[in-house]
Structure 1
Amino acid sequence: MLSKTYFASLTILSSLVTLPTLLYAQCTNSTPSPAERYFYNLASANDNKLYLFGGSLARSSYDVWSLDLTQQIDTGCPPWKQTFTSNNTNSMSPYVFGIAFNPNNQNYIFVQGGDAINTNIQQKIMGYDTTQNNFTLPAAPVGGSMPSRSRMTATVDSVNNKVWVTGGRNTFEFDTQGTLTDAYSDIYSYQFGDNPGSMSVEKATVTSHYGAPIGRFGHSTTLIDNKLFILGGYTTVSQNKAMVIDFASATVFDIQSSTVVSMDTIGDIPAGRTAFSAVASPDGQSIIVFGGIMLDTLQTVTNDVYILDTCTLTWKKQFINEHSQGRAAHQSYMHGKYMITMMGISGHSGNNTTPNDSVGILDTDTWTWVTTTEAGYSPGSKNSPQCSYAFPSPPAEDRVIGTSPKTYDNTVISNPLASHDELTSPEKGGIGVAVPLFVIACLGAAFFFYRRRQRNKSRQLNPRWMPGALSSSNAMSGSTGATDGHQQRNDYPLFTYNNNNNNTDTTTNQQGGLRTYTATDHDQWERQLIQDNERPQPDDDKAMTRHEDIWTRMRGLHAPGDEERH
């Protein structure tokens, strides 16, 4: 029979066997990973590794990091690896706001531009060999070189082995007080051959029917169905003064026809922000915009996710399951259905930024922030778009301004799909408040008039307008009917007048002279009106009864005592 000591030994042995695995799966303080990286660049090699370049303000060294996408990515311990480091900043300068791209998704990544310790070094296009993990200086591009710049974008057209570089501004060197002088509107393309070191550069000749495109920097550019969709960023107003470009419009550049147009967007338009990320959605026709610094005080970092349908330029705010920290000054990358985002900042503390050194994973199938990717996950083929953005027909003659100009861009034209009565989110919010207030006001008014009507109904009628209410017989005897064969009368006095007719008044049995006009007289006159309706258009030259009687009765109208005064 086996002893308890034997089972205890097996338990300890099994713990020792599994201990290395447990330690390997947990990150420690000594696990290498990049830290405090802002406005860096991401580029992939063979779709199985992500490489991180730049983004550090370190003065004494330069390094490169890779994230292995073939492993299951755990946000608690991402599989980072430092692939390059050098203290020789004379050959490769630390930088921010540059570009990195892999034109054919093989083993060669190019890095260029940005603000750096030495901008002269950084403006040369450098190549990074992911198999040797070192930098080389390729041959100069055929056709010249692109002017030095910072905060531009580089978008890969893998079908044509091209890279499109859009916009940017003049460069600043670290530790210097730079002067913002230019925001570029031009578009360059790098054309690559089979040899990674063989390239040519060309400036695109852009056609715009609504005025010259604006200069722009700090924006995003996404290629969908042979069209570059340019969102957000800044444009210069004057020296050292820039204006934020919001999401109420988008600029679209057709890479085949070199035509550009800026058009209104519609739907749930996001509030203005900077330092966001934008990637092509797996559906093949949408753009996912994540995070950024809001324009309230340039302090709030958001975790919002918005979707732009490029077919109609319609925005939609996407509801997200689970929670993620706000993130800005970061990059995002689509790995199949997973949007992987990393680094950047999560907020501000006074004048200092709060770094966010984590990795986030958004599952775009379920729109849920997850902590790990699926084990053994491999992206499938990319989806083809179900629709495409249609360029509007050009005007008969080119114009110098668009049909829906903005303060930051005069070339914007209206969206043909926009309804004239379409409301923005703030307007919808205003209606959400105004409609209930209007209903409450209507109910209050209805209640007021109802109470007023009820009070009027409850008032006792004035007896002067109730025939017979004050007749002499009623007043004397309290009877409600006629007495002594006489018609019930209401002798409430209204006014006195001089009856110049000496005939006896058959109604009151009064002789001519001063007499009193009573409510009964008025009631009799109203009955005569009814009688005259039988001949509304008399042709016998006789006066209407109501006319003849009223003039007879009122010809001598005066106050008592007038005769004495005359």
Structure 2
Amino acid sequence: MIFLNNSLIYVIFGILLQLLLVVKVYSQILTIKPDLRYDHTATLIRDGLYIIGGATPDGKTPNYPFLFLDVSIPFDTKQLKWHDLSNLSNNDIVPSHQFAAAIKGGADNNTLFLYGGMNLDNNPMSLVYTLNNLSWDTPKINGTPPNGKLFITPVIDYNGLIYLFGGYSTENIYTNDMFILDSINLSWKNVSSINAPSPRIEYSAVFLPNKKIIYMGGQFNNTTLPLSEVYLYDTVNDIWTTQMTGGSIPSARFAFSSVLGLDGQRIIIFGGMNSTHIISEALYVLDLNNYNWYIPSFFEQQLNARAEHKTVLIDKYMVITFGQGYTRDDSDSDILLLDISNNDQYAWTTSFDPTPTIIHSSNIGVVIGVVFGSTFVAILLLIGSYYLRKWYKNKKEQTDTITTPEEEHPREILRIPGEKNTQDQNQQPTSTYQILQISGNTSNSLQNNEMIQEVRDENKGIPTSGEDHREDHP
């Protein structure tokens, strides 16, 4: 019985812990309205878009510095369901920051790597942070790392190698070196800078199907760099080459974004700024077959240009997040969607409708599912323990009856002493017993008493009540 009571206590305690975890997880994913921000990071992992860091227009830490958007379900950019992940248990190991680089990698290609940038006290960050299953870590990485980098665009290849080019170092130097972070084996490597582009920051970079990386634009010492030439890094042979471009060449710019087209044959750029203002001619396409630029045809009115934003490709959409150049008083939202599925005519839209084949259960859904599942199991254990305790109690109370398989009702056992042993007066009398079984039907209790009295009358020599040595056994 003590065991059952203790078990109930443990089960109840476990359920309370599970409910607390449910409340904590649920509170972390309540829909909120985040501050405007720029120079943040945007990373797609499975079916979740993670927005980390950045600064508000007045240079402060945003109210929700770690955001999550579920892209496995349709949404409207006018009613975004942002979820706050800023209160994760070990989220404090990552300081508030901006100008950092983030990309997914790792053995399962589902780990977020965050590197570089500076905190909002203007101190550079040189550690590598990883996020896996909503838990931050600072892994040990072999080799010699760069001395911190700001304003870089990371690119990852098919082998989990992350390429980090140029940027602004912790020594306040513009650089044009190339470091590779192996996201699987966790090691650093510095590769060739022969024929590399000039030092630069806030450029754009895209990994191409031919295993080359294209680098475009940027700035150096407050000089905006042109897009009339682009640079290709061969990741297989460790070789840099320069490629001239033609067509309707965009104006020089930095702090813009780019994605690879769905056919792998073109690059789409959006936004950017020069040394004085955000550029209004925001949307251009580079044809990779001839390296000619052109302005695409698009449906619906073009929205305000942005700079210092981040863009990711999700399904058929170019997803543009936050940045400078808009306010919520405009018709713009924190997210812009450009449908690029039709190369003849792109379409600005406010509706995100993912292809069913790419819909998966998000990490948040898995966490909640596990929590609710374990809570359900705990409740089942509690119910089982209750009925087990009740069964044990009922069994203990049935000490006055014996049930035999031949008869329906329990039998009352009457023990009648036989002859007394009179050989030794100093010894306790020994008796033989006859067992009379009488129906235990409670409705016939009076009849039972009469039958007992008849038996007593028929057995002469039965002691009186004062001499009775009958033992009462339940």
TM-score normalised per structure 1: 0.52
Pairwise CA distance, 1:319: 1.9
Q: What is the DSSP-based 3-state SS (H/G/I as helix, E as strand, rest coil) of the residue aligned with 2:169? A: coil
Cα distance in 1 for partners of 2:86, 2:114 equals 14
Q: Which one of 72, 81, 84 corresponds to residue 82 of structure 1?
A: 84
Native 8 Å contact 1:91 1:121 kept in 2: no
The AA in structure 1 aligned to 2:312 is Y
Cα distance in 1 for partners of 2:238, 2:188 equals 16
Q: Which one of 363, 368, 372 corresponds to residue 351 of structure 2?
A: 372
Q: 1:275 aligns to what?
A: 255
Are 1:360 and 2:336 an aligned pair?
Answer: yes
Q: 1:182 aligns to what?
A: 173
Equivalent residues in 2 for 1:229-240, closer than 5 Å = 229-236=214-221
Are 1:116 and 2:116 an aligned pair?
Answer: no
* Deviation string, structure 1 residues 508-531 (Cα, Å, up to 9, x no partner): xxxxxxxxxxxxxxxxxxxxxxxx
Cα distance in 2 for partners of 1:243, 1:375 equals 40
Change (3 A) 1:275 1:87: farther
Change (3 A) 1:304 1:121: closer
Change (3 A) 1:372 1:303: farther
Q: 1:339 aligns to what?
A: 318
Q: Which one of 91, 94, 113 corresponds to residue 92 of structure 1?
A: 94
Native 8 Å contact 1:113 1:119 kept in 2: no
Q: 1:126 aligns to what?
A: 129
Change (3 A) 1:72 1:186: same
Q: What is the DSSP-based 3-state SS (H/G/I as helix, E as strand, rest coil) of the residue aligned with 2:93? A: coil
Pairwise CA distance, 1:181: 4.2
Q: Which one of 301, 304, 312 corresponds to residue 325 of structure 1?
A: 304
Native 8 Å contact 1:165 1:187 kept in 2: yes
Cα distance in 2 for partners of 1:281, 1:189 equals 25
Native 8 Å contact 1:327 1:356 kept in 2: no
The AA in structure 1 aligned to 2:351 is T
Change (3 A) 1:357 1:189: same
* Deviation string, structure 1 residues 66-118 (Cα, Å, up to 9, x no partner): 11110102111123211223799973221111101111464321111112236
Pairwise CA distance, 1:357: 5.2
The AA in structure 1 aligned to 2:264 is G
The AA in structure 1 aligned to 2:318 is M
Change (3 A) 1:378 1:345: farther
Q: 2:10 aligns to what?
A: none
Q: What is the DSSP-based 3-state SS (H/G/I as helix, E as strand, rest coil) of the residue aligned with 2:205? A: strand
Native 8 Å contact 1:277 1:331 kept in 2: yes
Change (3 A) 1:265 1:376: closer
Q: 2:264 aligns to what?
A: 284
Larger Rg: 1
Change (3 A) 1:67 1:303: farther
Q: What is the DSSP-based 3-state SS (H/G/I as helix, E as strand, rest coil) of the residue aligned with 1:76? A: helix
Change (3 A) 1:75 1:59: closer
Native 8 Å contact 1:33 1:82 kept in 2: no
Change (3 A) 1:304 1:84: same
Are 1:222 and 2:209 an aligned pair?
Answer: no
Equivalent residues in 2 for 1:112-511, closer than 5 Å = 112-117=115-120, 122-129=125-132, 131=133, 133-139=134-140, 141-157=141-157, 159-171=158-170, 181-193=172-184, 198-208=185-195, 213-224=197-208, 225-236=210-221, 242-294=222-274, 298-302=276-280, 304-323=282-301, 324-346=303-325, 358-366=334-342, 367-374=346-353, 377-378=356-357
The AA in structure 2 aligned to 1:265 is T
The AA in structure 2 aligned to 1:281 is G
Cα distance in 1 for partners of 2:202, 2:300 equals 29
* Deviation string, structure 1 residues 4-29 (Cα, Å, up to 9, x no partner): xxxxxxxxxxxxxxxxxxxxxxxxxx
Cα distance in 1 for partners of 2:49, 2:219 equals 28
Pairwise CA distance, 1:347: 5.2
Change (3 A) 1:181 1:244: same
Change (3 A) 1:84 1:272: same
Show structure 2 runs of 5+ residues with no match.
1-29, 360-474
Q: What is the DSSP-based 3-state SS (H/G/I as helix, E as strand, rest coil) of the residue aligned with 2:154? A: strand
Q: 2:65 aligns to what?
A: 63
Cα distance in 1 for partners of 2:105, 2:148 equals 20
Change (3 A) 1:362 1:154: same
Change (3 A) 1:62 1:75: closer
Cα distance in 1 for partners of 2:60, 2:110 equals 27
Cα distance in 1 for partners of 2:155, 2:293 equals 22
* Deviation string, structure 1 residues 481-521 (Cα, Å, up to 9, x no partner): xxxxxxxxxxxxxxxxxxxxxxxxxxxxxxxxxxxxxxxxx
Pairwise CA distance, 1:278: 0.8
Native 8 Å contact 1:61 1:88 kept in 2: no
Native 8 Å contact 1:71 1:79 kept in 2: no
Native 8 Å contact 2:304 2:326 kept in 1: no
Pairwise CA distance, 1:228: 0.8
Change (3 A) 1:377 1:331: farther
Native 8 Å contact 1:294 1:301 kept in 2: yes
* Deviation string, structure 1 residues 205-236 (Cα, Å, up to 9, x no partner): 2443xxx6411111011110211100010123
Q: CA RMSD in A?
A: 2.9
Pairwise CA distance, 1:374: 2.6
Q: What is the DSSP-based 3-state SS (H/G/I as helix, E as strand, rest coil) of the residue aligned with 2:300? A: coil
Change (3 A) 1:136 1:248: same
Q: What is the DSSP-based 3-state SS (H/G/I as helix, E as strand, rest coil) of the residue aligned with 2:167? A: coil
Change (3 A) 1:276 1:54: same
The AA in structure 1 aligned to 2:277 is Q
Q: What is the DSSP-based 3-state SS (H/G/I as helix, E as strand, rest coil) of the residue aligned with 2:251? A: coil
Q: What is the DSSP-based 3-state SS (H/G/I as helix, E as strand, rest coil) of the residue aligned with 2:348? A: strand
Cα distance in 2 for partners of 1:95, 1:217 equals 17
Q: 1:440 aligns to what?
A: none
Change (3 A) 1:73 1:60: closer
Percent sequence identity over matched residues? Answer: 23
Native 8 Å contact 2:54 2:62 kept in 1: no
* Deviation string, structure 1 residues 142-194 (Cα, Å, up to 9, x no partner): 1122211211121111x2111111110134xxxxxxxx94211001111132x
Larger RCO (CA under 8 A, 6+ residues apart): 2
Change (3 A) 1:338 1:347: closer
Change (3 A) 1:186 1:294: closer
Pairwise CA distance, 1:44: 1.6
Cα distance in 2 for partners of 1:356, 1:55 equals 19
Native 8 Å contact 1:52 1:66 kept in 2: yes
Equivalent residues in 2 for 1:520-539, closer than 5 Å = none
Pairwise CA distance, 1:59: 4.9
